[in-house]
Each structure stands twice: as structure tokens, then as C-alpha cells.
Chains A and B, each alone.
Chain A
Amino acid sequence: MANNYTKGIAGIWEEEHLILKAARKTREAGFTKFEAISAYPVHGMEEACGIKRSWIPYVTFTAGCVGLLAGLALTYWTSAVDWAVNVGGKPFFSLPAFIPIMFELTILFAALCSVGALFYACKIPRIDPPSIDPDLSSHKFAIFIPHNDIGYDETKIERMFKELGATEVKKTEY
């Protein structure tokens, strides 16, 4: 798995407003493949990094519709086609009675598929990815620029990070 990770350079910051500024500047400098890493979702980071709105809601909607139809198909086929039993004179296709099943399957499909989509989008689960700094999941922030990004120049990037207030700059794999 190790060769799935790219080499590059990372700057580490200790304050939220500095990382936001740094992300904005990095983007303005023309980098497109950089990653901003934080321990919690930083307000305004998406705009600063130019990240588009997540596509996962489309998955949720589609999965929800599939779940609804699956619920309808299951109840209809089992109760009215495959094993049509007269229960208290109720119609074989008793739609109102089937609504709870359809509802629950809608939610179940939508929720599980959204989480599946999250796993796909974040490329998880994965085994022990390299970590730039263990404090990044606690109180520090980082920006990582991979070596294959446009205009990658280690000395220039290092200078830019320092100017933006980075407390540490290191060459690393991510």
C-alpha cells in the first residue's frame, strides 16, 4: 500500500485563522492538489480551498428511492403474488399496511448508501496511512502539497509557508 502515497511538503500551523489564510494563499499560488488537514471541520475552509459541494446527497436520494421501491416490491410480491393469504379479509395488496415497511427501507438504504459513499469519497477504510504530525488530530493544522502539483518547487513553497506563519515545514509522504 505504501506506494499509494505521494511525496511532498507540508507546513504546520497552530492557529485556525492562520491555516485559513494559508489555504487561501496556497490556492491563489496556483496549487490544485493540496490538502488542508485539521482535527475538526474548520469554518470557511471549503471556500478557502475551493472545494465543491459534496456529491453524496445524490447518492442518498437515489438510494432512498431504490429503498422505497424495494419495500414496495417486497411487500407486493410476497403478499399479493407469491403467497397470497387472506388475513382478516384485508386486500392482498394492502398498501397502507405496507407503508411502514417502505418507509423503513427508504431510510435504511439511504443511510447505509450515504455512509458507503462517504467511505468511497474519503478512501477509507485504509490501513495506517502516513501521518504528518500526530498533533494534527488534536490542535495543529497542516497544508500538504504533493510533488506532482503544478509549480511544485520545494524552496519556494517552504518560503511561502514560513511567510504565512507556519511553525514547522517538513518534507513528508502523505
Chain B
Amino acid sequence: MMKRSPLVLGNKTLKDVTDDICAPVERFPSKGWVGMFLGAKTLLLFYIAILASVVGVGIGLLGVNSPVFWGTMIVTFVFWIGIGHAGTLISAVLFLFRQKWRTSVARTAEAMTVFAVMTAGLFPLLHTGRPWLDYWLFPYPNQRGPLWVNFRSPLLWDVFAVSTYATVSMVFWYIGLVPDFATIKDRAKNKLRRTVYGALSLGWRGTAKNWSHYEMVYLILAGLSTPLVLSVHTIVSFDFAVSNLPGWHTTIFPPYFVAGAIFSGFAMVVTLMTLVRIGFPEFKNYVTLDHMEVMNKIIMTTGMLVGYAYASEFFIAWYSGNQYERFVFVNRAFGPYGWSYWVMVSCNVLIPQLFWFKSMRRSIPVMFVVSIFVNIGMWFERFVITVTSLHRDFLPSSWGMYAWSWFDTGVLVGSFGMFLTLFLLYLRLFPAVSIAEVKPVLHVGYDEKGGHH
């Protein structure tokens, strides 16, 4: 029989689990946390100022111009939506596959999903240029005659896909949190805490009948989220693939986008988990090196999948015999934006190859750096797809460059402020590992006497 490594280290009892996971929520914030929070919040305030200028003055502050009408907003939207995917993948797909290691990272990964989707959601809304009219995107009976949205447009499919995704992942996340809120409520030392967490726990009592329904609903939500997560990035890829533009009009886009999303999402989980392990050392027993190693293996696999997709796009461009398609791909790698293409390839295909070595997969500093590179690479992937296809299409007379402005930089950097602020607040206010899910897997990997197999 194959040996199993313990999922939770340190021979924890049920009480230890509760104490350990509730500790960050119950104690006074550390200096490290406060420092990071102030940094993130400053960045968020900067972001708000940037967005206010973009909304107030107009979209012209950004570099979008003829012929590149889709810029940072769309690039960063696709990037953040992709980040979200690992959360749902860990919580739903691995749940269906009975991968018990997911329990330690699922909660935080889901939180990451929710915040990433929130961050992402702002971009298409602001990209419209008149965000105060964004309610026009929704089909609702209105006073402007029988005026409905166009359901034949991939942009509207996006509205439905992203809003459904946001709703369902939030619900999935919250349902997972309910029993743990009850735990925190029961441990509360003061009335305010008890009331707030009591309200959040909805009066959960944990009877066997409740758990029976609860587990069923959790399974159902996992089953529903799995096709949902695949559909979201598929539909995001349709925004591009359904057009006729060379470089976008590609059948490989849906699986390629999904693979890229999982790739970047897992990289973000690794980035955040390395930080969480540093910030909250008690979590090292729950988010073990084994967990990190598994995620690094997934990063390497999906990295090779996107590498395959890059190669396949080139091959098909040549094989199609379509001169516009051929030109776009040669231009992508060797044109004026060739540097961004090579940043993408180095970060996404070459650097993750380090994970072939076990020592690299299990080294926290190495995986932290690699995960950052993957995130950079995946942002550039969306940049390459969007900008290089738009800037030189059918007619040389309409070629141009993307006029990147410092507002673009502000929007991109600032979005991290929003994401990190939400994430840091989450770490302090919510139990960052699912208490109710870790307890049943406590004994995996231990023999009857409490030793390792």
C-alpha cells in the first residue's frame, strides 16, 4: 500500500484545531499584519483616486485609442477573473475528486476567488466609459420602448457568466463558513463578537440532520460550480474567439483560457499561502509543504498546457494558410510588442520547469518567486492576446501602437490594493482554514498509535 503523508501535522486534537484556526481571528493583530494592511489600504486609496479620475475625466486618460480599443481594463479583467479560478477548482473540482488535501487551502482559495472576481468585475463596468449607465447591461423591463439587450453578443454572455460566477462562488464560500462562524460565536468572550458571529452563523446548530442536508448541498454546489468555472473562462474567451480578428479567431481559446486561468490562479494561491504561512506560523501544520508541493505540480502541468496552446496557435496559423493569421503570429513574436511575447513565454513556460526538481517544488522561497513570475507572465499573456492582435490587423494603413499612460499603470497596480485589502481583512475576520472540514481528515496519514505510517 502507498504511504500517505499526514494532511495535518503535529498530532492535533480536535480542540487544538479549533484553537489554532481561531487564534488569528481572536488575538490582537500583529505588527506585520498592520503594516501590510496599511500598505494595501494606501494602494486602495490610490486606486480609488485613479478610478475617480478615469470616471470623472473620461476613458481617454488610459491608453486606449484607435486601433487598440481594448486595453488595460480588459487585459486586467481577464487576468483577475483567471486568478479566481483556482479557488473554485480547489474547492469544487478537488472536492468531487475526493482530494482530501484540499481542505486546508480551500477556504483561503475561495476567498481569493471572491475577491478576485470583485476586483475583476469593476473593469468591464468602467471600461464602458459611462459606468453610471452600466445597468443597461442587464435585461430588465424599461421605459425606453421594448429595448432589450442583445443576447447574441458574447459580451452579454459575459455579463451572465461573471455575475453567476460571482454569486455562486460567494454562496459556496459562505455556506462553507457557516459552521465555523458558529464555532467562533461559541468561543466569543464579549457580546459584540457573539452578536456579529452569531448573526453570520445564522443560528447554525450542527445536528446530524443539519449536517446531512449540509453535506448534500455542499456536494451539489461543488457539482454546479465545476461546469460553471469551466464555462466562465470559456465564455470570457468567446469575447475574443467569436470575432473575426486574426489572432483571436481561434478554436483553442476556450480550453487554453481555462488552463491559463487555473495556472495563474494556483500561482496566486501559492503566493498568498507562502505569505499566510509566514504571517500565521500556526497554519504551517495545516498548510504543509506537501500541500504546497501538490499545487506546484499543478502549476507545472498547467504551465505546460498553456505552452502547448502557444505552440498550437503558431502551428495552426501556419497550417491555415491564411496570410493575415500568419502575419499576426509572426508579428506577435517578432513585431514591436515581441518583448511582451517573450516575457510571457519565459514566465509561463520556461520558469515553471524548475518544478521538475523536488527540491525546487518544496522550497518556499523558490515557489514564491516562481509564483510571482507566473502571475506576471499570465498578465502578459492577456496583454499579448489583446494588444498584439488589435494593433496590427488587416490593413497596414490602420496600424498603430497602444499609448500606455501612467493611468494604466495606476489601474493595474491599484487593483492589487483592492484585492490585498479585502484579503487581509478576511485573514483577520474569518477562519482561514475550514475548521469543520479539517477535523474529519485529522487522522489521515497517522496509524492507530498516532505515529506516521
A interface residue numbers (CB < 8 A to B): 23, 35-43, 45-46, 49, 51, 53-54, 56-57, 60, 74-75, 78-79, 82-83, 85, 87-88, 90, 94, 97-98, 100-101, 103-105, 107-108, 110-112, 114-115, 117-119, 121-122, 124-129, 131, 134-139
Q: Which A residues touch B171, using CB under 8 A?
A: 111-112, 115
Most buried by A among B212, B231, B235, B437: B212
Are the C-beta atoms of B439 and A39 separated by less than 8 Å? yes
Closest CB of chain A to B444's CB: distance in Å?
12
Q: Which B residues touch A42, using CB under 8 A?
A: 208, 211, 440
Complex formed: what's the CA distance from A135 to B224 in Å?
34
Complex formed: what's the CA distance from A163 to B203 in Å?
31
Q: Which residue of B lies closest to A121 (CB)?
A: B213
Question: In this assembly, does B198 line the interface, its C-beta being within 8 Å of a C-beta of chain A?
Answer: yes
Given contacts A54-B213, A97-B151, 14 further A-B contacts (CB under 8 A): A36-B207, A38-B208, A43-B440, A46-B212, A54-B215, A56-B213, A98-B151, A101-B160, A104-B231, A107-B231, A118-B217, A126-B203, A134-B186, A138-B183
Q: Interface segment, B12-20, B398-406, B421-429?
A: B12-20
Q: Which B residues touch A97, using CB under 8 A?
A: 151-152
Given A40-B437, A79-B148, A87-B150, A100 contacting B231 (CB threshold 8 A): yes
Are the C-beta atoms of A107 and B211 separated by less than 8 Å? no
Most buried by B among A38, A87, A122: A122
Q: Which B residues touch A101, using CB under 8 A?
A: 151, 156-157, 160
Q: Which B residues touch A23, using CB under 8 A?
A: 208
Residues from 163 to 212 in B contacting A, C-beta threshold 8 Å: 164, 167-168, 171-172, 175, 178-179, 182-183, 185-187, 198, 202-212
Complex formed: what's the CA distance from A137 to B161 in Å?
36
Given A54-B213, A100-B235, A112 contacting B205 (CB threshold 8 A): no
Q: Which residue of B lies closest to A36 (CB)?
A: B208
Complex formed: what's the CA distance from A136 to B225 in Å?
31
Complex formed: what's the CA distance from A98 to B203 in Å?
41
Report 20 cross-chain contacts, Cβ distance below 8 Å, ordered by A residue: A23-B208, A39-B435, A40-B440, A41-B440, A51-B212, A79-B150, A87-B153, A104-B157, A104-B160, A104-B228, A110-B220, A112-B171, A114-B224, A122-B209, A122-B210, A126-B203, A136-B186, A137-B183, A137-B185, A137-B186
Q: Which B residues touch A105, using CB under 8 A?
A: 160, 164
Are the C-beta atoms of B164 and A107 separated by less than 8 Å? yes
Closest CB of chain B to A14's CB: distance in Å?
9
In this complex, the interface size class of chain B, counting residues with CB under 8 Å from chain A, is 35 or more
Given A78-B148, A134-B187, A126 contacting B202 (CB threshold 8 A): yes
Complex formed: what's the CA distance from A41 to B183 in Å?
14
Q: Which B residues touch A74, using CB under 8 A?
A: 139
Closest CB of chain A to B343's CB: distance in Å?
32
Q: Interface digits, B432-452 against A, CB 8 Å rule (1 contact, 0 not)?
A: 000111011000000000000
Question: In this assembly, does B96 line the interface, its C-beta being within 8 Å of a C-beta of chain A?
Answer: no
Are the C-beta atoms of A125 and B203 separated by less than 8 Å? yes
Given A39-B435, A127-B203, A45 contacting B217 (CB threshold 8 A): no
Question: In this assembly, does B147 line the interface, its C-beta being within 8 Å of a C-beta of chain A?
Answer: yes
Q: Which A residues touch B212, using CB under 8 A?
A: 41, 46, 51, 53-54
Are the C-beta atoms of B220 and A114 separated by less than 8 Å? yes
Are the C-beta atoms of B148 and A35 separated by less than 8 Å? no
Q: Which residue of A lies closest to B204 (CB)?
A: A124
Q: Which residue of B lies closest to A80 (CB)?
A: B151
Complex formed: what's the CA distance from A90 to B202 in Å?
49
Q: Which B residues touch A110, using CB under 8 A?
A: 220, 224
Question: In this assembly, does B29 line the interface, its C-beta being within 8 Å of a C-beta of chain A?
Answer: no
Given A37-B206, A40-B436, A104-B160, A138 contacting B186 (CB threshold 8 A): yes
Q: Which residue of B lies closest to A1 (CB)?
A: B203
Complex formed: what's the CA distance from A86 to B22 in Å?
58
Are the C-beta atoms of A100 and B160 separated by less than 8 Å? yes
Complex formed: what's the CA distance from A60 to B221 in Å?
10
Are the C-beta atoms of B220 and A78 separated by less than 8 Å? no
Question: In this assembly, does B227 line the interface, its C-beta being within 8 Å of a C-beta of chain A?
Answer: yes
Q: Which B residues touch A46, using CB under 8 A?
A: 208, 212
Are the C-beta atoms of B198 and A39 separated by less than 8 Å? no
Are the C-beta atoms of A39 and B436 separated by less than 8 Å? yes
Question: In this assembly, does B56 line the interface, its C-beta being within 8 Å of a C-beta of chain A?
Answer: no
Closest CB of chain A to B240's CB: distance in Å?
15
Q: Which A residues touch B211, using CB under 8 A?
A: 38, 40-42, 45
Q: Which B residues touch A57, using CB under 8 A?
A: 216, 220
